[in-house]
Structure 1
Amino acid sequence: MSTSRRVVLSAAVAAPLLAQFTGARTASASTASADWGTVSSGWVEVRWTAQAQAQLDRFGAVIEAVAPAELVRDAEGSALRFPVRSGTGDPSLGNLPQAQGDGTLDGGVAVRTADGVFQVTDLHSALQDSVASGTCTVNGVEVGHQAVAHCGLAEGLLTADGVRLGQPVQVQLSEVPLRATPQLLAAYTATFGEPAFNTDTVLAYVTAQGLYTPPKA
């Protein structure tokens, strides 16, 4: 397999992680629910760990943001922040592992290597049973992935301002760890060989914020 093909697959496997709180236009109609509310005026930030950076370094890859997404660098490392274009779901404020939803992020990510630039856009994903699946477009080719990441929702920090029954509420979920699923590990192994991480390895932390409007009673 050529280096270019390997990098494209790497970008395609990694991209749905960036959209795990919003979603997949390809999710089946049965996934959505009339009991779901909407998410607006939000953003999602993905901060990758040293273990994930080691995989990028393995391929000589440099991450860049595709506007209106932004690359954030600070004392804690690097992160990508994406505006939420649209989203629906149930944040399950009383029991986070029960949260579910789907939606879309604006912007994208560019993976720059010695073989060229691979632009990943049209980030969509669905979250159900703490597992994220999704689709993205890599240099004009749509790629879909199922069960790409396990989201440690119970390990995140939830804050909600001014909770009133039936009224919009500003919600932020911080530092949610993302770990590879067995499906992702199998795809990685088939493409690149034995990985230096497993299903217990935290590859990124996600923080998401938005205005959640409950469904009409």
Structure 2
Amino acid sequence: MTGRLLASGREADVFEIDQARVLRRYRRDADVNAEAAAMRHVAGLGFPVPEVFSASGGDMVLERLSGPTLAESGTTPSEVARILADLHQRLHDLPVWPGAPAGTSIVHLDLHPDNVLMTGRGPVVIDWCNARADDPDLDTAMTALILAEVSLWDHPMSALARATLDEFLAIAPGDPRRLVADVATERRGQTTTLTPDEIKVVGEAVAVVRG
């Protein structure tokens, strides 16, 4: 049995269990073990993620967090960009897990303002299903590309996304522009949660990032 529905994303729903825990359940066939392992790894190194209580199949029981998303928090674009850049830097500086390719960093690959919750203990990063060990510039490129895409959509956060993008490109670690075409190709080919109209702007978004 699940409790009341608290939130729905493009791929998963979040249900209440009690005041301390929620159930995050994918609406597609999924195995959350790798996602949970990545979250536990970075949590053990002090990176801000929800605590994982259990993981099985498409379900994870997670720490219940309170607070708005970074996108909804009323934070200025420059501060949103600073928080995103800081989270990237902190994540990429962590030791990777055993067996990861040499020279790689832990990357989130979906680190944008809607996946950061502003809690009483500071920003906490959610939705780790894409996490892996890879080039850190891929991670910042994906953030830049997502911001550029949202700036081109008919979306309540379009203006915030564009202003944040300009600030983020100026302060992000590494080079977000270097691999933006690579992440755009991956996003076109593998992202099943975007609508056809949203996919259409990916090429234009690459041009926005490249300036």
TM-score (norm 1): 0.27
TM-score (norm 2): 0.28
